[in-house]
Structure 1
């Protein structure tokens, strides 16, 4: 079993990844700022070594990569790298010192969907700071793998869902009022015809894919894989399915974008535009073929588990 360092250990993915690594017999080092607890408690956390680091401060000093390398990991999993400068500092420090580095990217590296389901190897035209920065990181790391043999694997999650936080909802934003409206059988307005798509992934399925990448090192090294559910959903189908799940008949309205936007809080409208402008619908065929990836959760099942947690913990006013 390997010594595995997980950066951003208490976040969405780490919440599920740390227990899986510990239970598989790995020696786990959980790196975080120490300001948050995992979303879901698990006894396996007691068996992980905890290291509290301020990444931003250490990177500013030029010491973060060296600090991680000094933990002497065989495998490093980086959940929270968002700039090329961060990726470069870490990769340069780990070169020749690790068996594998797993970087968590995003399906937003694709930008607009062109062919659907979208494979990993299409030409990417990202837009927006997040997608552009993540695409630059991917290009750098994969080039480093091909030119210098850096053992990197990149996982690109969709909209991450799990217990403890609000999922992307059928209106394309994160305000729980959309779920509350559906639960009460009231009218929920959707933009356009509700045919734009969103593509969720349960955080535990990302954890499973990371472990498959570790187990199939030779096939995974130098490659990027989508981490999404078996199928994207349209906003319309998503809303209808959630209404039925709440025991209601769907009560939906469809408005042209400008009219719909004018009725929303500015932050909700902005979030919706970011998602429906991309309308992701990504293929997992490469992960199935090379790693045996078979997500346990559909998009709807993942969301429903998350919404049930919100309901049971008083986070939904129904």
Structure 2
């Protein structure tokens, strides 16, 4: 099977690339070639930019059984890709987001039939619009789309939390080890699902080339359900400390940092518990096997083995201090 990943070296996709290569797929990665350490052995890199006018010229001499689009975020991106790949592949997999599901949810357990509606986050609304465009193309033109919605998926290079520095994820562990207050939204008891990227890859690779998956949507997550107090405590345990958790209402956090509205009200402030029955029906044997505590031990160990990645975001620390102060002031 000949497979093209548009992207393929990101946080989630690098684990999928690795598993696809291990499974013996003929894997090509189309990206800018900036993350070579995350290219698995045996994969071929086509250097280019899918947004550039010359992308069509670069790719026209190739044909692929499956194309996976890891990096489209707006309907404009999708419109261009439908034109580019119509008639060129038997399956086009679009990476959407579980944040597209209804917020707040009408039922705690999320299935693929849960409505898509997020009034709090433009990112999620754009993903919904992309999905709608692709499904219209499937119904009207036979465009062979499969939609996959990851939730909070992490790996070696990420310290996953509701509030952390995206560019400098070690900041959270550093703050814990210094005994500084760690902001937890709400009372920390809402439920959430963390998924290791190697577990996500097991389910995802099973969808590659699966004709029955065309026209279908899936989420792929762990079945382990934790609350946010447990999540932050597990991160601290992996770092060798008991974190100093400080609970602050999500509304207060957003009042101090308005850009957190989508991340919190549009995602992590509500419970995220997923029914994985569908992916298990289509990919028999799929099972997530990395408990969050074990995954975090692995992640912290990776950072400790890569001291150059232990960078700290001073502006993020200052923001956390302001949020703590606002919470204590009862604002």
On whether the aligned pair clears a TM of 0.5, the verdict is yes
**Which residue does the alignment assign to 1:233?**
226
Contact in 1 for aligned 2:70/2:95 (Cα 8 Å): yes
**Which residue does the alignment assign to 1:49?**
44
Distance across 1 between alignment mates of 2:111 and 2:306:
38
Report the Cα offset of residue 25 of structure 1.
2.3
* Change beyond 3 A, Cα 1:250–1:23: closer
* Change beyond 3 A, Cα 1:135–1:300: farther
How does 1:118-137 map onto structure 2 within 5 Å? Answer: 118-127=110-119, 128-137=121-130
Report the Cα offset of residue 268 of structure 1.
7.1
* Change beyond 3 A, Cα 1:173–1:301: farther
Distance across 1 between alignment mates of 2:250 and 2:74:
32
- How many residue pairs were aligned? 306
Deviations 1:35-61 (A, max 9, x none): 23244x64x1xx322211122222xxx
Contact in 1 for aligned 2:190/2:271 (Cα 8 Å): yes
**Which residue does the alignment assign to 1:221?**
214
Provide structure 2 residue ranges, at least 5 long, that are not aligned to the other structure.
Answer: 313-331
1:162 to 155, 163, 187: 155
Distance across 1 between alignment mates of 2:27 and 2:258:
42
Distance across 1 between alignment mates of 2:231 and 2:200:
21
Matched, 1:91 2:82: yes
* Change beyond 3 A, Cα 1:270–1:316: farther
Deviations 1:95-139 (A, max 9, x none): 233121111111111141412221011111123221011111112
Contact in 1 for aligned 2:164/2:171 (Cα 8 Å): no
Matched, 1:280 2:275: no
Report the Cα offset of residue 260 of structure 1.
5.4
Contact in 2 for aligned 1:65/1:91 (Cα 8 Å): no
1:107 to 98, 101, 124: 98
**Which residue does the alignment assign to 1:180?**
174
1:74 to 33, 52, 65: 65
Contact in 2 for aligned 1:182/1:242 (Cα 8 Å): no
Give me the TM-score of the superposition, normalised by structure 2.
0.79
What's the C-alpha RMSD, in Å, of the aligned pairs?
A: 3.0
Report the Cα offset of residue 7 of structure 1.
0.6
1:141 to 134, 151, 155: 134
Deviations 1:55-102 (A, max 9, x none): 2222xxxx6457545421111111111111211221233223312111
2:145 to 149, 152, 159: 152
* Change beyond 3 A, Cα 1:130–1:65: farther
Provide structure 1 residue ranges, at least 5 long, that are not aligned to the other structure.
Answer: none
State the secondary structure of the residue aligned to 2:112.
coil
Distance across 2 between alignment mates of 1:257 and 1:21:
39
Distance across 2 between alignment mates of 1:256 and 1:25:
49
**Which residue does the alignment assign to 1:14?**
13
Matched, 1:29 2:28: yes
The more displaced of 267-276 and 187-196 is 267-276
Distance across 1 between alignment mates of 2:177 and 2:161:
13
Distance across 2 between alignment mates of 1:176 and 1:275:
22
State the secondary structure of the residue aligned to 1:12.
coil
* Change beyond 3 A, Cα 1:49–1:253: closer
* Change beyond 3 A, Cα 1:260–1:109: closer
Matched, 1:291 2:283: yes
The more displaced of 303-312 and 112-121 is 303-312
State the secondary structure of the residue aligned to 2:36.
coil
* Change beyond 3 A, Cα 1:129–1:267: closer
Distance across 2 between alignment mates of 1:113 and 1:286:
22
